[in-house]
């Protein structure tokens, strides 16, 4: 497992910030991301990837929202190529609260999923004021307890066959949540593109495979959009890079999948 080398980070990277932005209030309690990383590592979780939101103002450079995905070599699932993760989200400019999400990573497509809800595990959130308890250890315990349930849930989703009509319905619903039901954009996208297999393993019609295909297309922007004034011209969609939207879309996709599994 290759981990992040914090020593190679630019000194303007918010991950190594030692104080909050001057734009925060006097009540704001700074949460040092480097210390949080140390807490994760102490619990056996090591940083493997990171993402930093673009700063739109100079006073936010080095303090903006950031996300880190952690893995633990002892945290394993008994299904395929899926790796459990903990996802840390934070900022030093007051733009978001400190959170820890549950996540999954599929090796074949190199794609990270975000779990919205796991029994006895929920996103651990701490607002940036007052004293902060050791939420990292709580998240570690909850995730480790949930591994068996997660393995069972994935196997269960793999047994649920989807008719073509149901797959189309799922893809349309997923596209709607991606664009927040913006009809102007939706009418310019062929939602069936989201169901195109990108590798031979994705030719199956079960709910788990459908979820993974649609998620990968949406997050990586692997579909086309017609130009507003010329429907004969297609442009490639952009990958989803905004951290807030990445978490939202991934979480809602998990919830959508759960809904389809019960219908």
Instruction: Give, as one character, the DSSP assignment of residue 206.
Output: B
The b-or-e profile of 106-128 (16+ CB within 10 A means b, else e) is beebeebbbbbebeebebbebeb
Residues whose CB falls within 8 Å of the CB of residue 137, separated by 6 or more in sequence, listed in order: 39, 43
In tens, the pLDDT along 175-227 reads 999 999 999 999 999 999 999 999 998 999 999 999 999 999 999 999 999 99
Q: What is the pLDDT of residue 119?
A: 41
**68 strand-pairing partners:** 50, 88
Work out the pLDDT band at 125, boundaries 50, 70, 90.
Answer: low
Task: Flag whether the pTM goes above 0.85.
Answer: yes
Q: How many residues does the chain have?
A: 263
Q: What is the mean pLDDT of the chain?
A: 87
Work out the pLDDT band at 132, boundaries 50, 70, 90.
Answer: very low
Q: What share of the chain in percent tops pLDDT 90? A: 53
* Contact indicator for 168, 210 with CB cutoff of 8 Å: no
**Tokens standing for 181?**
């039901």
Count CB-CB contacts under 10 A for residue 154. Answer: 17
Q: What is the pLDDT of residue 110?
A: 67
């Amino acid at each position: 497992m290759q981990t992040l080398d914090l020593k190679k980070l630019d000194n303007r990277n918010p991950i190594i910030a030692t104080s909050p932005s001057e734009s925060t209030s006097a009540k704001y309690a700074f949460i040092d991301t480097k210390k949080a990383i140390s807490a994760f590592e102490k619990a056996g979780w090591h940083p493997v990837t990171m993402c930093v939101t673009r700063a739109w103002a100079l006073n936010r450079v080095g303090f903006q929202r950031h996300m880190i995905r952690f893995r633990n070599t002892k945290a394993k699932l008994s299904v395929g190529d899926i790796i459990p993760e903990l996802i840390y989200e934070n900022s030093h400019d007051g733009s978001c609260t400190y959170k820890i999400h549950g996540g999954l990573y599929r090796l074949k497509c190199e794609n990270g999923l975000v779990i919205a809800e796991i029994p006895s595990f929920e996103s651990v959130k701490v607002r940036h004021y007052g004293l902060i308890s050791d939420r990292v250890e709580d998240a570690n315990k909850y995730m480790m307890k949930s591994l068996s349930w997660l393995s069972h849930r994935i196997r269960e989703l793999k047994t649920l066959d989807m008719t073509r009509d149901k797959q189309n319905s799922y893809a349309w619903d997923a596209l709607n949540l991606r664009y927040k039901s913006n009809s102007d954009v939706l009418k310019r996208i062929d939602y069936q593109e989201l169901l195109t297999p990108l590798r031979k393993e994705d030719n199956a019609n079960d709910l788990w495979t459908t979820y993974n295909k649609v998620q990968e297309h949406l997050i990586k922007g692997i579909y086309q959009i017609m130009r507003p004034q010329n429907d004969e011209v297609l442009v490639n969609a952009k990958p989803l890079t905004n951290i807030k939207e990445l978490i939202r879309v991934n979480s809602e996709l998990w919830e959508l999948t759960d809904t389809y599994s019960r219908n």
